């Protein structure tokens, strides 16, 4: 979706939690260090407000990180009023529920040595807190933050191992361009460190191929027009990469072909000053670096996941915030952001620097 010739999709504010810490700025400095973050969870503050403390009991870790990023972006944008009309579009990951509750649920749902859905309904659900569902439904990664912040406009969540978060941005831009809403927040929140998610990544062979599990959240505050925008979304697109049956992820040759086509369509003869690449591991990294060298040749190339790790649904959103930070710090005009997550698909976003940067 090309947006450069439309009446504004402006980025009013950003906020992120990740290896860089918390805040709207600092990702570019982190990326320039070019070292992976230490393994383990990031430092996320506990609830400070009574309403937060009460609702935090119902929230997964990803939901709490998403709520903090949402709150930070809204504060940076100065959007205290009219939140009931704000759109909200998020890429979200797996449920990330407490392991003790999951163990109780599964333990009570086993019959004759295997999982029984009938027994889960009869006895498993009685073994856990009745409000446990608010942790395991992954759309609540968005819902909890929206409830806390009073965001009640058009919304959607997209399960994401990368591309779903770019789809969330695309949907937000469509909603703004078509007038469904005048302002919206969009982003992603996830943790690749949850034991079940880690087991999935190990089972699929992704950890062995260089995926560095991490966690985080990032949010952009968007508006149809803004006199003091940090930047502008000029293009957003998701392309599916064909995979052979049973393959863990896309082959490098197929990834390169699709990504090269997407980048060509996104730039359309325009140059970019910064290329931010967000690959999930060695094979995707080699493919994207090769394409950048052949097709883009940006003066500044930053590998987002080499600096921040792979936070799954949060990775593309962190890369967008990083790109805007690089534009603001370096006085550059345009950034290309290419994400290739574990789902194998490619997301391409072009961001331009705004007058308020």
Lowest-confidence region among 100-109, 241-250, 337-346: 241-250
pLDDT at residue 309 in the model = 94
The answer on 94 and 198 residing in a single domain is: yes
The answer on 297 and 283 residing in a single domain is: yes
The answer on 343 and 312 residing in a single domain is: yes
The answer on 324 and 188 residing in a single domain is: no
- C-alpha span between 248 and 260 (Å, rounded): 21
The answer on 294 and 263 residing in a single domain is: yes
The answer to whether 326 touches 335, Cβ cutoff 8 Å, is: yes
Per-residue burial over 217-228, b = 16 or more CB atoms within 10 Å of its CB, e = otherwise: bbbbbbbbebee
Which tens digit of pLDDT belongs to each residue from 156-194? 999 999 999 999 999 999 999 999 999 999 999 999 999
| Cα-only R_g, the chain | 20
Q: Please say if the pLDDT value at position 37 is more than 80.
A: no
Q: Please say if the pLDDT value at position 324 is more than 70.
A: yes
What is the phi/psi pair of residue 8, to 5°? 65, 120
- C-alpha span between 334 and 186 (Å, rounded): 20
CA atoms lying within 13 Å on the CB side of residue 184:
30
1 in a domain, yes or no?
no
The answer on 238 and 217 residing in a single domain is: no
The answer on 258 and 315 residing in a single domain is: yes
Strand duo 274-279 + 334-340: pairing: parallel
Q: Please say if the pLDDT value at position 131 is more than 70.
A: yes
Q: Which of 223, 256, 281 is the last residue of a domain?
A: 223
Q: Which of 223, 248, 277 is the last residue of a domain?
A: 223
Q: 253 versus 218: which is more confidently predicted?
A: 218
Residue 112 structure tokens: 């004759």
Q: How many domains does the chain have?
A: 3
The parent domain of residue 151 ranges over 10-38+50-98+132-223
21 in a domain, yes or no?
yes
CATH of the domain at 16: 3.40.47.10
Residue 121 structure tokens: 């309904």
pTM surpassing 0.85?
Answer: yes
Is residue 171 packed enough to be buried (19+ CB in 10 Å), middle (13-18) or exposed (0-12)?
Answer: buried
pLDDT at residue 153 in the model = 97
């Amino acid at each position: 979706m090309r947006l450069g010739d439309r009446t504004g999709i402006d980025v009013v504010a950003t906020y992120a939690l990740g290896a860089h810490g918390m805040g709207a700025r600092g990702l570019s400095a982190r990326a320039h260090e070019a070292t992976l973050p230490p393994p383990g969870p990031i430092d996320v503050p506990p609830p400070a407000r009574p309403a937060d403390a009460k609702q935090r009991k119902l929230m997964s870790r990803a939901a709490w990180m998403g709520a903090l990023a949402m709150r930070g972006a809204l504060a940076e944008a100065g959007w205290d009023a009219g939140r009931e009309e704000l759109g909200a579009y998020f890429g979200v990951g797996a449920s990330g529920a407490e392991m003790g509750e999951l163990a109780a649920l599964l333990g009570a749902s086993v019959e004759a040595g295997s999982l029984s859905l009938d027994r889960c309904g009869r006895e498993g659900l009685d073994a856990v807190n009745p409000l446990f569902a608010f942790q395991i439904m992954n759309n609540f990664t968005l819902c909890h933050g929206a409830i806390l912040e009073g965001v009640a406009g058009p919304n959607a969540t997209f399960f994401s191992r990368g591309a779903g978060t770019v789809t969330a941005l695309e949907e937000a831009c469509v909603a703004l361009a078509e007038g469904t809403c005048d302002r919206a927040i969009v982003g992603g929140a996830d943790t690749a460190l949850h034991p079940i998610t880690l087991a999935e990544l190990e089972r699929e062979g992704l950890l062995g191929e260089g995926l560095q599990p991490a966690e985080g959240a990032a949010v952009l505050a968007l508006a149809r027009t803004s006199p003091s925008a940090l930047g502008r979304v000029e293009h957003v697109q998701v392309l599916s990469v064909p995979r052979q049956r049973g393959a863990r992820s896309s082959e490098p040759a197929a990834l390169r072909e699709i990504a090269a086509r997407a980048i060509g369509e996104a730039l359309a003869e325009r140059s970019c000053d910064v290329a931010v690449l967000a690959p999930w591991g060695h094979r995707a990294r080699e493919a994207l670096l090769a394409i950048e060298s052949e097709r883009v040749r940006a003066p500044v190339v930053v590998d987002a996941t080499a600096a921040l790790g792979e936070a799954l649904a949060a990775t593309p959103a962190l890369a967008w915030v990083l790109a805007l930070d690089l534009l603001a710090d370096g006085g550059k005009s345009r950034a290309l952001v290419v994400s290739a997550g574990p789902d194998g698909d490619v997301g391409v976003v072009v961001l331009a620097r705004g007058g308020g940067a």
